[in-house]
Structures are given as C-alpha cells and as structure tokens.
Amino acid sequence: MDNWVIVMMLSGSLFLGGIALFAFMWGVKNGQFDDEEKYLNATKFDTQEDLNDAIEKERKKEELRKKVYKPE
Amino acid sequence: MSNKINCSHCHLEFSKDVMIEDNEHYFCCNGCQGVFHLLSDEGLDSFYDKTADVKLSPPTEQYEDSANFNAPAFYDKFVKVNGDGFSEVSLIIEGIHCSACIWLNEKALDKMDGIIEANINFTNNKANIQWVDSVVKLSQIIDMIRAIGYNAYPYDASLQEVHANRERKDYYLRMAVAIFASMNIMWIAVAQYAGFFSGMTQELKTILNIAEGILATPVLFYSGWVFFRGSYYGIKNRVVNMDLLVATGASLTYIYSLYITIIEYGEAYFDSVSMIITFVLIGKFLEVISKKNAADTLDIIGKHLPSEVNIVRDEKIISVKLEDVSIGDTIVVSSGEKILFDGLIVKGDGSFDESSLTGESEPIYKQEGENVISGTISIDADIHFNATRDFEHSTLSNLVSLLESAINKKPKIEQLANKLSEHFSTVVLLLSIATFFVWWLWPHSFEESLMVSISVIVIACPCALGLATPVATLVGLNLGAKKGILFKEAAQLETMAKVDVLLVDKTGTLTVGKPEVVKETLYKSFDIRLLYSLVKSSNHPISKGIFNYLNQKDNVSNEIVFDEFTQISARGIVAKYNSHVVIGGNLQLMLDNNIKCSFISDETLFFFAIDNELVGVYELSDKVKDGAKELVLNLKEKGIETIMLTGDHDKSAQKIANEIGIENFNSELSPQDKLSFVENLQKEEKVIVMVGDGVNDILALARADIGIVMGSGSDIAVDVSDVVLLNNSLESLLSAFKISNTTFKLIKQNFAISLVYNAITIPLAMSGYVIPLIAALSMSFSSLLVVGNSIRIKYKWKRG
C-alpha cells in the first residue's frame, strides 16, 4: 500500500513538472525568448486593446494564408 | 527659460517661438508634425503614452527613391519566398530608442494589408517581415517605416547567422530536457542512496528505478543525440573521440540499468547516465556559443564594393555594371569615390589615398598621363581615366581572390583537448574491456563483471575533461571583453598562447598613423586665427595635425572668414583676408611664391607665410604609440620575436624601428609581399600573430594564425581578423597575449586536475569498490573542481 503512495506522488509531480518543461520548450521553439528585452517589456503592452489586435492579426494571417494557398 | 517646450513627437526641447503650433501641439519640424498626424489617423497615438519622456530623433527626409527596392535584382538578393508562399525579408531599422518604438513599428506594419508578420528584435534592431507580395510590395513596407519616422534598409541575413541561431536554439532545448530530468533524478537518487545504507524493500527500489529510467530515457536519446551523432562522424573518420566515450558509456550504463531494473537485483546507474550527458552537453554548449560564425568571404568583399561605375559612352555619362566595363572605356570618378579599375588618367588631377596598397595615409598627387590603381580612393580628384584592364584582372579583384584563398588556407592548430581526448577515450575503453575479462575469468558472475567494467567507464566520466576547455576559454573571453579585446572565437585563445613570431604593421599600429606637430618655430608673431582658420578648412592629414596642435595649445574661439580660398593639390592652401595674402603649405609652394626658406629637417614640414614673408615653420611626424617599447621588450622575454612589416620607405621604417627597439623590419612591402612573408614563416612551422589596421594588411591578417586588428582599422580588416583591440592601444595587445597565456595555463591545469582525479578513481572502479553514490559524487566533484579552478584564476587576475 505504502508503495502506491510513492508511485502516485512520483507520477503526479513528474507529470506536473513535465507540463512546465513542455511549456518552456514550446516557448523557446516559438521564439518567445529570442529577445530578452522585448520579453521583459512585454507586460507594458498587454492591454485589452493589444489582445484584440493580436486576435485580429491571427485572423488576418489565416485569411492571407488561404489566399496564397491555391490548390492545384 | 520658461518658453522652452517639448516637441509633441520627438520630445526634444526647443524655444517656443521656433516651434510649429498645431491644435495645442507643438512640433520642431514638419517631419515630426507629419508623423504625429499619421499616428493619430491610424489610431496609434497611444504610442506617446508608452514612450513617456524618451527623446526620439526627428525624421529626416533625404532618402533615395524607395522604388529601387522593387527592382528584380534587389528581390533576388534580399527577399526569400518561404514554404507558405510568403515573401520574407530581413531589415535593420534605424532610429529605435525604446520598446515603444518597437511596438509602433510592429503595429504600423501589422495594420498594413498583406503583411503576415512583423517581428523586430529590440537588442539588435533587426526585423523579420513576412508579407504577401501580390498584395503589398517591399517598397510600400519601407515607405511605411519611413513615414512613421524611422528608416529601414535590408540586410542579407546570411545562412551562417540563421544556422548559428538554429543550432543555439537546438542546444537550449536539449539542455532544458537534460537539466530538468537530471534535477528530478537527483532527488529520487537521494532516496536510493538513503535506502542503500538503511535498507529498503526491493519493490520500492524497483519503483524508484522505473521513475529514474523514465526520466533518463529522453536525456539519453534526445539530449544525448549530439554525442551519438558526433561519435558516428568520429568513427567514419576513424577517430576515437570524446563523443564516442560519452555515447558508449552512457548507453552501456543505460542498458545495464534497464537490465538491473528488470531482474530486480543490484544497483541501477540511471543518475550517472543523465549526469554524464548533462555535464558534457553544457560544456559543448559553451563551445558552441563562443564559436565564430565563419565569415562568408564573398559577403565581406561584396558589401564594401559598389556594383556600378560611371563611364562615358557616346559623350554621355551612364552607369554600367562592373563586369560590363571593357578595356579602353573612359571612367568618371569624382572626389571621395573609390577607384575600381586600373587605368590611365586622361583628364583632371588631384590627390589619391593609396593606403590600401602602402598603409600610408599621405595623399599622393597624380595628374594627366599617370596611372591610377584600383582599390585606391580619390580624395579631391575629379578625373576621367581609361581602363587599362577589365575588372576581373584588376589589382582590386586580384586582391579579392588572394584574400579568399588566404582565408581558406588559414592554418588550424589542433587543440589540446582534441589531442588529449582521443588518447583518453581509447585508454578508458580498453581498460574497461580488460576489467570485464579479468573479472569474468577470475571467476565472477557475468553480471558482476559487467557492472564493474561499466563502473570504470562511468567513473572515468569525461565530465571534467569536457568542461576543462570551454570553462577556461569562457573565463579568458570575459577577461578580454572587459579590457576591450574581442576574441571572435574561443579556440583562438589557445592558438595565440603558442605564438612564435609577432608581425606588426607600422602606420596606425605601432604609430598613431596621423602626423602630429613635434616642433614649432616662429619667426614673427602673427594672428593665430589666420593659421587656425586656414588649416581648419582642409582635410589633408598635415592640416589636421596642425589643427589639433593649435586646438590643444591655445583655445582659438572665433574663426576668420577668408575672402578668397584656394587649395592647391600637393602644395597647400592660399587664401586672402583683408588684402593680406596668407599661404600655408610645403616647401614647393613657398618656392612657387618666391618666399625664401632655408629650413632643413628630417620631419615633414609645413610653412606658413603672410604677405610673402615666412612667419612660422611646423615640423610634423608620426608619433610612436605609448607602450610600444614595453611590448617589444615583454615579448622578447617570452621568446616571441617581433618583426615590423611596413609599406613605408626604408628610412622612416628604420627610424621607428630604432626608436622602439625592433631589430627586424621589412619595408616597402606591398600587401602581397606581406602575405608571402607570412606564408614563408608558416612553412617553417611557426605560429604567427599579425597585427595591423589597414586594407594593405588584410591578406596577411587573413592568412596568419591569428590576425589582430585595431578597432579603428578599416572595416574589411576588422572582418577578416580574429581579434579586435577596441581601444587601439598597444597595452591591450600585450594584455591579449597575457590573457591567452593565462587561459592556456588554465586549460592545462584543468586537464591535469581531471586526469589526476581519474588516476585515483579508475583503479578504485577496476577493483570493484564503486557504488552509484560514489560514481555520482565523483562526477560532480571533479566538475566542480574544474569550474572552481577557472573562477579562481579570474579573481586572481582581477586583483593584479
């Protein structure tokens, strides 16, 4: 019985740690840490307006992608 | 005072009455006003909340036509089409002051139709922009950046840079996994070690083993992939390298530990697997970040050469590509331009800067009928000349191809680490195999023999060995950076410590490179402002020397405006002021004006006469930099020979050599002569350090084992060199030698530490006294010793 407690704790904490690791790796791959200055200043430009702009940008990108991609 | 006010756009302060008033806003210029309105029209005026009080530079409006950016040739060179079919360009943005500027540029570009992504790096102001070319053109993008008050120009994000960044990122990811897993394994291992001494059930042990095994798997196969790859290439080239030792050690240990976990007997070494890989990976990473991006030679040359030249055809001046100029074409060069062809002057005269050939900054006067040489620069000459050779065979392209071959032929001295690790790896692998057979034949069970032989590999862990060089060179690079010495590559520190001969350029390296006044002889007192104003308006090095001298001596505040002012090439200046004739120049000019002079000196002379009467003579000479003597003496003590190479005349070379105490010097050398001098020494297997500053040194700098350049040197010279002395002083050259010696000593010490460590622990492992705890401790401890030793040197250096 005791051993199961250890198994649960080990797997639980490794799972949580794993999530953090993957989040970090995703960030690195995505270029979020490429520019430390910008990364540190990002909080300054995190208003509602900026978030709306970001969504708008994603939408625009998707549209343009469709436009460029022409199925043969 | 109170009527000073900030411009609403750039925040620079001006007096209120010069500002443009506009709806309660004030602007310093139309440019700022334009940008301000544009931003509020676009709804981007929250930019001003973000800038706070940062001062921006007002927009300037003298750009070339942006339509040039749409030329196919331009697109070919800078614009790439990526996998999604989007166009992509790299730009450098000028005028960025704060993070709000980045925000503004990104927002303004994002709002444009057709732009997919605009990403600007704050640290280096480089931007990457993706767009759909059918919707918006590059010129419109650049116009937008200019419209909001910045400027952008494309640069060639060469493959090298992209590649280096990708490699670095790859290492980040691998290290993140390795460090994460190792740290977790360590706390599980603490439980293992505690259980080893106090006892625990086999069941619990297996649970911990499985957890460790799960963590060690990505470390071995993902993070450790670089070692498998490295050993594959090693085996292909028939070299036993450190990668092979790490890869075999880690994977054997891994397989053995899996086996232990399954049979539920004995000790698993998963912690050692991840620790070996993590430590050596960190060492490898340090090596990667301190590696120079091997310069793209074509790029170096390309960016210093214009691609077009003006020629006369059918009595019109047209610009044509360099390749299209044929022998006999008349080329037009105006003052300040670079000469790209060899030829014969047919019209005009003037002074030329031939420092790219001789290293001397003294202008050379040429007139009709004389030859001009490609690679030189016209200082004040507007000439027409006939090309006598096409571009491919010109002196300049000859220099370019020589430079390319010099860069390719640069010798690579094998690093101590590579030499050592090959032997070390072979010995350890052999010892481990021997241990296995001895134990097996000396009747022990198969498992036990295998365990002992694996523990030999684990304990002989190359962690400390792998860290020895990178940590030491990192310390060296840091020491250098603090003293204004930039080593472009870590390995150069080691090469430089092995130097036999120092070759040094004269002008600009040993000497200041600019003539300075050494003696002043006045015959009659005169208004010093006359001389001051006379020399101020000339760019000739002699005039500048006198100008600096006067500036230092007496502070002349108000200038005189001459009524008439003529510069006479290779003679001097004649000016008129209030019916006085003021003449300053060389002896020839004085004789031309029938002024009597009987002054004799070895130095360069500048005569000054008012109304045809000589009033003063200035003697100028190129001064030797501080510390030159000490440098030569110090190096002599270390057994390094110093040889001076110069393009200057024998007489002046002799003078400087005597002054400094250099025994060997060669004078009147062309750039090619310098190159062959280096090559001949290298044939004698000598390690050469070349120090220079000018275009005339680039061949030798590129070919020498280490090329050191003064920070004030020409751009090409800085590009081809390995070490840059930012403060141009000879003291820092000496420091560079000291730093490289210290670093090399440090590397040797670190190797000694790790080898001694292994000499103690390997016999222990062979006799079977090693348990996982000891293996792990020894690994960390030896690595700590190496790092600690390197830090010790850093502090020692700091104190004295």
Per-residue pLDDT reduced to its tens digit, B697-718: 888 888 888 888 887 777 777 7
Strand B80-81, strand B87-94: pairing = antiparallel
pLDDT at residue A68 greater than cutoff 50? yes
Contacts 24+ apart (CB under 8 A), B677-683: B677/B503, B677/B645, B678/B503, B678/B703, B678/B704, B679/B703, B681/B501, B681/B503, B682/B411
B126 is written with which tokens? 């480089």
CATH 3.40.50.300 fits B69-157, yes or no: no
**Distances in whole angstroms, Cα of residue B302 to Cα of each of B307, B375, B716:** 8, 13, 10
Chain B residue closest in CA terms to A13: B184
Give mean pLDDT, residues B537-547. 79
Q: Which residues of B touch A66 (CB under 8 A)?
A: none
pLDDT at residue A18 greater than cutoff 90? yes
| B175 has a chain A CB within 8 A of its CB | no
Domains of chain B, by residue range, sit at: 1-62, 69-157, 164-289+419-471+746-799, 306-339+341-393, 485-499+626-726, 512-624
Chain A residue closest in CA terms to B51: A44
Give mean pLDDT, residues B424-438. 87
Mean of pLDDT over chain B: 80
B261 min Cα distance to partner chain A (Å): 16
What pLDDT, on the 0 to 100 scale, is given for residue B540? 75
pLDDT classification of B389: cutoffs 50, 70, 90 = confident
B315 is written with which tokens? 């009595």
| B184 has a chain A CB within 8 A of its CB | yes
Per-residue pLDDT reduced to its tens digit, B23-33: 777 777 777 77
What residues contact residue B481 under an 8 Å CB cut-off, 6+ apart? Answer: none
| B132:A64 CB<8 A | yes
What pLDDT, on the 0 to 100 scale, is given for residue B559? 73
pLDDT at residue A21 greater than cutoff 90? yes
pLDDT at residue B63 greater than cutoff 60? no
B450 min Cα distance to partner chain A (Å): 30
pLDDT classification of B297: cutoffs 50, 70, 90 = very low
What pLDDT, on the 0 to 100 scale, is given for residue B404? 73
Neighbours of B265 (CB within 10 A): 11
| B20 has a chain A CB within 8 A of its CB | no
pLDDT classification of B573: cutoffs 50, 70, 90 = confident
Alpha carbons B287 and B281: distance in angstroms, whole number: 10
Q: Which residues of A touch B85 (CB under 8 A)?
A: 68-69
B740 is written with which tokens? 């490289």
What pLDDT, on the 0 to 100 scale, is given for residue B565? 79
What pLDDT, on the 0 to 100 scale, is given for residue B218? 93
Please report, rounded to a whole number, the percentage of residues in chain B having pLDDT higher than 90: 4
Whether B17 is catalytic: no
B118 sits in the region (left: phi over 0; alpha: psi -120 to 50; else beta) called beta
A19 sits in the region (left: phi over 0; alpha: psi -120 to 50; else beta) called alpha
Tell me which residue has tokens 């540029």.
B105
Closest by Cα among B494, B429, B434, B477 to B751: B494
Q: Which residues of B562-571 are buried (b: 16+ CB within 10 A; e: fewer)?
A: beebebebbb
Question: Quick one: chain A helix, strand, coil %, rounded to 5?
Answer: 80, 0, 20
Q: Which residues of A touch B107 (CB under 8 A)?
A: 53
Q: Which residues of B touch A1 (CB under 8 A)?
A: none
What residues contact residue B774 under an 8 Å CB cut-off, 6+ apart? Answer: B459, B764
Cα-only R_g, chain A: 20
Alpha carbons B168 and B324: distance in angstroms, whole number: 43
| A35:B204 CB<8 A | no
What pLDDT, on the 0 to 100 scale, is given for residue B301? 55
pLDDT at residue A72 greater than cutoff 60? no
Is the model more confident about B323 or about B545? B545
What pLDDT, on the 0 to 100 scale, is given for residue B299? 53
B417 is written with which tokens? 């680490």
The single-letter code of the amino acid at B153 is Y
Nearest to A3 among B132, B203, B214 (CB): B203
Alpha carbons B643 and B690: distance in angstroms, whole number: 10
What pLDDT, on the 0 to 100 scale, is given for residue B1? 44
Q: Which residues of A touch B119 (CB under 8 A)?
A: 31
Catalytic residue among B271, B353, B505, B719: B505
Lowest mean per-residue pLDDT among B15-24, B403-412, B487-496: B403-412
Q: Which residues of B touch A29 (CB under 8 A)?
A: 169, 173
pLDDT classification of B213: cutoffs 50, 70, 90 = very high
The CATH superfamily label for domain B512-624 reads Calcium-transporting ATPase, cytoplasmic domain N (3.40.1110.10)
| A10:B188 CB<8 A | yes
Lowest mean per-residue pLDDT among A2-6, B2-6, B158-162: B158-162
Alpha carbons B734 and B736: distance in angstroms, whole number: 5
A38 min Cα distance to partner chain B (Å): 6
Q: Across-strand partners of B365?
A: B351
Chain A residue closest in CA terms to B130: A61
| B207:A7 CB<8 A | yes
| B117:A61 CB<8 A | yes
| B173:A41 CB<8 A | no
Task: Give whichever of B173-177, B467-471, B738-742 has the largest mean pLDDT.
Answer: B173-177
Helix (H/G/I), strand (E/B), else coil: B269: coil
What pLDDT, on the 0 to 100 scale, is given for residue B557? 65
pLDDT at residue B180 greater than cutoff 90? yes
User: If you classify domain B485-499+626-726 with CATH, what class do you get?
Assistant: alpha beta
Is the model more confident about B530 or about B155? B530
| A3:B207 CB<8 A | yes
Q: Which residues of B touch A6 (CB under 8 A)?
A: 204, 207-208
Strands (E), B326-393: 330-333, 343-347, 350-353, 364-366, 371-372, 377-378, 383-387
What pLDDT, on the 0 to 100 scale, is given for residue B3? 67
Alpha carbons B477 and B488: distance in angstroms, whole number: 9
Per-residue pLDDT reduced to its tens digit, B625-678: 888 888 888 888 888 888 888 877 788 788 888 888 888 888 888 888 888 888
pLDDT at residue B696 greater than cutoff 60? yes
Backbone torsions φ then ψ of B63, nearest 5 degrees: -90, 155
Angle between helices B730-766 and B772-799 (to 10 degrees): 160
Task: Give whichever of A64-68, B177-181, B735-739 has the largest mean pLDDT.
Answer: B177-181
What pLDDT, on the 0 to 100 scale, is given for residue B177? 93
What residues contact residue B204 under an 8 Å CB cut-off, 6+ apart? Answer: A3, A6, B195
pLDDT classification of A15: cutoffs 50, 70, 90 = very high
pLDDT classification of B800: cutoffs 50, 70, 90 = low
Contact B619, B522 (CB under 8 A): no
Alpha carbons B456 and B450: distance in angstroms, whole number: 10
First to last CA, chain B: 51
What pLDDT, on the 0 to 100 scale, is given for residue B159? 57
Chain B residue closest in CA terms to A47: B46
| A34 has a chain B CB within 8 A of its CB | yes
| A48 has a chain B CB within 8 A of its CB | no
What pLDDT, on the 0 to 100 scale, is given for residue B53? 67
Closest by Cα among B23, B393, B455 to B269: B455
pLDDT at residue B413 greater than cutoff 70? no
Give mean pLDDT, residues B322-338. 80
Give mean pLDDT, residues B732-742. 87
Alpha carbons B534 and B583: distance in angstroms, whole number: 9
The DSSP call for residue B223 is I
Q: Which residues of B touch A12 (CB under 8 A)?
A: none
What pLDDT, on the 0 to 100 scale, is given for residue B67? 67
Lowest mean per-residue pLDDT among A11-15, B50-54, B100-104, B429-433: B50-54
Nearest to A21 among B116, B180, B214 (CB): B180
What pLDDT, on the 0 to 100 scale, is given for residue B78? 76
Per-residue pLDDT reduced to its tens digit, B16-57: 777 777 777 777 777 777 778 777 777 777 777 777 667 777
| A31 has a chain B CB within 8 A of its CB | yes
Please report, rounded to a whole number, the percentage of residues in chain B having pLDDT higher than 70: 90
pTM of the model: 0.71
Alpha carbons B85 and B307: distance in angstroms, whole number: 30
| A38:B122 CB<8 A | yes
Lowest mean per-residue pLDDT among B58-72, B85-99, B415-429, B461-475: B58-72
Mutate to test the interface with B, among A15, A57, A65 (most CBs of B within 10 A): A57
Mutate to test the interface with A, among B90, B110, B125 (most CBs of A within 10 A): B110
B188 min Cα distance to partner chain A (Å): 9
Chain A residue closest in CA terms to B115: A61
What pLDDT, on the 0 to 100 scale, is given for residue B296? 47
Closest by Cα among B466, B473, B416 to B247: B466
The DSSP call for residue B643 is E
| B169 has a chain A CB within 8 A of its CB | yes
B242 is written with which tokens? 């450190």
What pLDDT, on the 0 to 100 scale, is given for residue B294? 47
Mutate to test the interface with A, among B116, B131, B134, B165 (most CBs of A within 10 A): B116
Backbone torsions φ then ψ of B605, nearest 5 degrees: -115, 145
Give mean pLDDT, residues B731-752. 87
pLDDT classification of B414: cutoffs 50, 70, 90 = low
pLDDT at residue B743 greater than cutoff 70? yes
Nearest to B204 among A3, A14, A67 (CB): A3
pLDDT classification of B556: cutoffs 50, 70, 90 = low
CA contacts within 13 A on the Cβ side of B165? 12
| B190 has a chain A CB within 8 A of its CB | no
Angle between helices B772-799 and B446-459 (to 10 degrees): 10
The CATH architecture one would assign to domain B306-339+341-393 is: Distorted Sandwich (2.70)
Q: Which residues of A touch B184 (CB under 8 A)?
A: 14, 17
pLDDT classification of B450: cutoffs 50, 70, 90 = confident
Helix (H/G/I), strand (E/B), else coil: B288: helix
Per-residue pLDDT reduced to its tens digit, B134-170: 778 888 888 888 877 787 777 765 555 667 777 888 8
pLDDT at residue B298 greater than cutoff 50? no
What pLDDT, on the 0 to 100 scale, is given for residue B61? 57
Element (H, E) at B739: helix B730-766
pLDDT at residue B719 greater than cutoff 80? no
CB pairs below 8 Å between A and B: how many?
A: 76
ipTM of this complex > 0.90?
no
